[in-house]
Amino acid sequence: MCGIIGYVGNRKASTILLKGLKNLEYRGYDSAGIAIKHTAGHTQVKKSAGKLEEIGQSFNSESIEGNIGIAHTRWATHGAVTDENAHPHTDCEGKIAIVHNGIIDNYKELKGRLISKGHSFTSDTDSEVIAHLIEENLGYGFEDACMKAFSSLEGSYAILALKEDEDKIVGVRKDSPLVLGVAEHGIFLASDIPSFLEWTNKVMYLSNYDFIIAEKGGIKVYNEGKEVLRQIDTIGWNIEEAKKGEFKHFMMKEMSEQAETVMRALLQDENIVRDIVDEINNALGVFFVGCGSSYHACLAGSYLFSRIAKVHVNSVLASEFENYEHFLTDRTLAFAVSQSGETADVLFAVRGAKSKGSKVVGITNVLGSSLTMEGHALIMMNSGPEICVLSTKTYTSQVVLMTMLAYAVAGKYEEGLKKIGSLYLDIYNLTSRTMRDSLAKLAEILRDKWDIYLIGRGLQYTTALEAALKIKEVSYIHAEAFAGGELKHGPLALIEDGTPCIVFVSAENKSKILSNAEEVKSRGGYIIGVSSEQDDLFDFWIKVPEAEELNPIIQIIPMQVLAYELAVLRGLDPDKPRNLAKSVTVI
Ligand code: F6R
């Protein structure tokens, strides 16, 4: 779960790569590094632990002359966060440099073998074996040495390699993302599209086991030893979408885009939606599978299907999905929900389902991601790039898609589109300056709390879960959600004088959830109501419109803003919470 980028072209590689790395930092920010094939004929490596903004200066990239280079930003898996473990890694002679995203499962065995042949290692990473493996095979020439080295790897990998006397970058992808960007002045190879969007919107998607040779003169792609043609697409994303603009953080920018992104999620090919509806109707067992926020969207989806379409759907955490494999058959339909399309647990679940003959529908936001290639059908979220590590606009888009599908299964597709479409202004107002100011005041009240509890019933319970995740991951305040009815079965013991409890109210469950809030209040709790109507119980009121089955799209938005304000007040970077990364490519 790192970010990699390579460039070969006419421009100064170090300048381009440092900019590209900045765009990739959301994928990991433990350390960063670049390797340039220097015009003087050697490989120059600069790398260091720390965030790019702290270490970028020390790279003094302007002094590195060369038009071919690779770079890496790391989320540590194997080996501590140290300079030595930062990528790029080199061979014994320092001639070959590699960057890697993924995990090499058999690295211990390979390392042992290489050490017995005299190779010496300088890091604790799994990735360093790749540089030494290429070195070991150099007798075959650089390209073949790379091919041989890559073929002995087990695990997941997107790798870029360069050598001091070769005018090319050699790459490979297996179960980790790698896309190519084709600009007039050069070629990019990177973990995602936004990293090179400033220079080109022409992209080439790669398949598993694609082996790439990128030179100034062009690109060659091989798969199973044969040259293959991969199409170059022009994508609709633009660089403005991938930049912060006037916003201080990507998180605020992305939350503010939700009025638009919710509408864009509705722009689906009707024929594909109808085909998927047929699949749902014919299936014997439907599963919604995801992790983290995507799982919360799945849970909301299962409530929505039950309520709107009267169809039973199982929502399962992707990491727990294997426990359901006994129930999978060729009549099962599994929806794999993942904004990044790269989450290892989700991809593992997809493969498990496919191995049982089940059909898989992918729901993702990232073009060219693994999920776009693994499913039998695909729904794109159309949210545009989401750079902040937290899911905000992609979460609401997922819930929108679930709602839209539920309406379609109920035979009310048009009605669903219309209802969701009518939310535009409400969503817009929820991220307005007035709303943000009010939530900033609430954040002042909550900033030094140790715990925040959140309760809801029905659809509002799924929102409480997602809101708790948002608050904890970005502000580091312990936040925990409970179904309102569960309070008296244990959690009430946690309430003491001043304990904050956020209560999600809907017209439908108003009296029950308010009586739960009363239970908290009478034990000294501080009640924050998320509701369309004021109530005497509330110590603080967050006013939201009542949207019935669309409440999950609406009620989460002020919670995202609150989480953001808490992070900012506590001096934290909302875009890069500690220990997290945007796409979680490890199990
Ligand atoms: C929370 C968050 C994570 C992701 C989870 C799954 O803000 O972003 O919980 O939702 O890691 O990621 P995807 O959707 O990429 O599979």
Edge-to-edge order in the sheet of strand 202-205: 43-49, 31-37, 68-74, 3-9, 186-190, 179-182, 202-205, 232-234
Give the residues across from 204 on adjacent strands: 180, 232
Looking at the fold, whether 226 and 282 belong to one and the same domain comes out as no
CA distances from 327 to 299, 314, 560 (A): 19, 11, 36
Looking at the fold, whether 115 and 181 belong to one and the same domain comes out as yes
In a domain, 142, yes or no: yes
Measured from the CB, is residue 555 less than 6 Å from ligand 1? Answer: no
Looking at the fold, whether 44 and 148 belong to one and the same domain comes out as yes
Measured from the CB, is residue 343 less than 6 Å from ligand 1? Answer: yes
- pLDDT > 70? residue 62: no
Please tell me which residue, 18 or 54, carries the higher pLDDT value: 18
Q: Do 215 and 191 contact (CB within 8 A), yes or no?
A: no
The pick from 1, 26, 27, 294 for probing ligand 1's pocket by mutation, whose C-beta has the most ligand atoms within 8 angstroms, reads 294
- CA–CA distance, 471 with 473 (Å, rounded to integer): 6
- CA–CA distance, 392 with 388 (Å, rounded to integer): 9
Which ligand 1 atom lies nearest to the CA of residue 392?
A: 7
Atom 3 of ligand 1, nearest CA residue: 292
- pLDDT > 90? residue 408: yes
CA distances from 117 to 84, 112, 136 (A): 22, 9, 9
Q: Do 164 and 194 contact (CB within 8 A), yes or no?
A: no
For residue 178, the model assigns a pLDDT of 95
Which ligand 1 atom lies nearest to the CA of residue 364?
A: 14
What average pLDDT score do residues 378-403 get?
Answer: 96
Looking at the fold, whether 411 and 493 belong to one and the same domain comes out as no
For residue 402, the model assigns a pLDDT of 98
Looking at the fold, whether 264 and 193 belong to one and the same domain comes out as no
Q: Are strands 359-364 and 377-380 parallel, antiparallel or unpaired?
A: parallel
The CATH number for 532's domain is: 3.40.50.10490
- pLDDT > 90? residue 396: yes
What average pLDDT score do residues 539-560 get?
Answer: 98
- Convert the pLDDT of each residue in 120-130 to its tens digit: 999 999 999 99
Beta strands in 51-95 (DSSP E): 68-74, 89-90
Q: Would you report the helix, strand and coil content of the chain in percent, each value rounded to 5? A: 40, 25, 35
- CA–CA distance, 111 with 109 (Å, rounded to integer): 5
Please state the domain count of the chain: 3
For residue 249, the model assigns a pLDDT of 96
For residue 61, the model assigns a pLDDT of 62
Lowest mean pLDDT among 43-57, 266-280, 533-547, 567-581: 43-57
Looking at the fold, whether 228 and 324 belong to one and the same domain comes out as no
What average pLDDT score do residues 63-85 get?
Answer: 89
- pLDDT > 80? residue 261: yes
The CATH number for 10's domain is: 3.60.20.10
Looking at the fold, whether 302 and 225 belong to one and the same domain comes out as no
Q: Which pLDDT band holds residue 543 (cuts at 50, 70, 90)? A: very high
What average pLDDT score do residues 235-254 get?
Answer: 86
Picking from 371, 388, 422, the residue at the C-terminal end of a domain is: 422
Q: Among candidates 71, 132, 123, 81, which has minimal Cα distance to 101?
A: 71
Looking at the fold, whether 304 and 364 belong to one and the same domain comes out as yes
Q: What is the chain's mean pLDDT, rounded?
A: 94
Length of the chain measured in residues: 587
- pLDDT > 90? residue 170: yes
User: Which residues make Cβ contacts (< 8 Å) with residue 422, sequence separation at least 6?
Assistant: none
Q: Among candidates 533, 294, 281, 512, which has minimal Cα distance to 410?
A: 281
Measured from the CB, is residue 400 less than 6 Å from ligand 1? Answer: no
For residue 400, the model assigns a pLDDT of 98
DSSP type of residue 520: H
What average pLDDT score do residues 218-226 get?
Answer: 95
Looking at the fold, whether 19 and 126 belong to one and the same domain comes out as yes
Helices (H), 46-202: 52-59, 107-116, 128-136, 142-151
In a domain, 579, yes or no: no
Between the CA of 473 and the centroid of ligand 1 the distance, in Å, is 11
Picking from 205, 234, 263, the residue at the C-terminal end of a domain is: 234
How is 422-488 classified by DSSP, letter by letter? Answer: TTHHHHHHHTSHHHHHHHHHHHHHHTT-SEEEEEE-THHHHHHHHHHHHHHHHH--EEEEEEGGGGG
In a domain, 504, yes or no: yes
- Convert the pLDDT of each residue in 189-220 to its tens digit: 999 998 999 999 999 999 999 999 999 989 99
What average pLDDT score do residues 111-133 get?
Answer: 97
Peptide bond into 88 cis (omega under 30): yes
For residue 181, the model assigns a pLDDT of 96
Active site residues: 2, 582
Atom 13 of ligand 1, nearest CA residue: 338
- CA–CA distance, 434 with 495 (Å, rounded to integer): 31
CA distances from 243 to 145, 238, 436 (A): 39, 9, 21
Element (H, E) at 338: strand 333-338
Query: What angle in degrees, to the nearest 10, is found between the helix axes of 393-409 and 270-282?
Result: 70
In a domain, 192, yes or no: yes
What average pLDDT score do residues 221-244 get?
Answer: 87
Give the residues across from 47 on adjacent strands: 33
For residue 496, the model assigns a pLDDT of 95
Looking at the fold, whether 248 and 193 belong to one and the same domain comes out as no
| Structural domain boundaries, residue 270 | 244-422
Between the CA of 275 and the centroid of ligand 1 the distance, in Å, is 27
Measured from the CB, is residue 577 less than 6 Å from ligand 1? Answer: no
For residue 94, the model assigns a pLDDT of 96
How is 185-251 classified by DSSP, letter by letter? Answer: SEEEEESSSGGGTTT--EEEE--TTEEEEEETTEEEEEETTEEE---EEE-S--GGGGS-TT-SSHH
∠ CA 492-290-195, rounded to 5°: 115
Is residue 271 exposed (0-12), middle (13-18) or buried (19+ Cβ within 10 Å)?
Answer: exposed
What average pLDDT score do residues 547-572 get?
Answer: 98
Between the CA of 47 and the centroid of ligand 1 the distance, in Å, is 28
In a domain, 455, yes or no: yes
Q: Which pLDDT band holds residue 244 (cuts at 50, 70, 90)? A: confident
**Highest mean pLDDT: which of 77-86, 230-239, 426-435?**
426-435
Measured from the CB, is residue 403 less than 6 Å from ligand 1? Answer: no
* C-alpha 259: how far from chain center: 20
Between the CA of 580 and the centroid of ligand 1 the distance, in Å, is 10
pTM for the whole structure? 0.86
Looking at the fold, whether 255 and 226 belong to one and the same domain comes out as no
Between the CA of 328 and the centroid of ligand 1 the distance, in Å, is 25
In a domain, 587, yes or no: no
Q: Which pLDDT band holds residue 481 (cuts at 50, 70, 90)? A: very high
Looking at the fold, whether 225 and 291 belong to one and the same domain comes out as no
In a domain, 439, yes or no: no
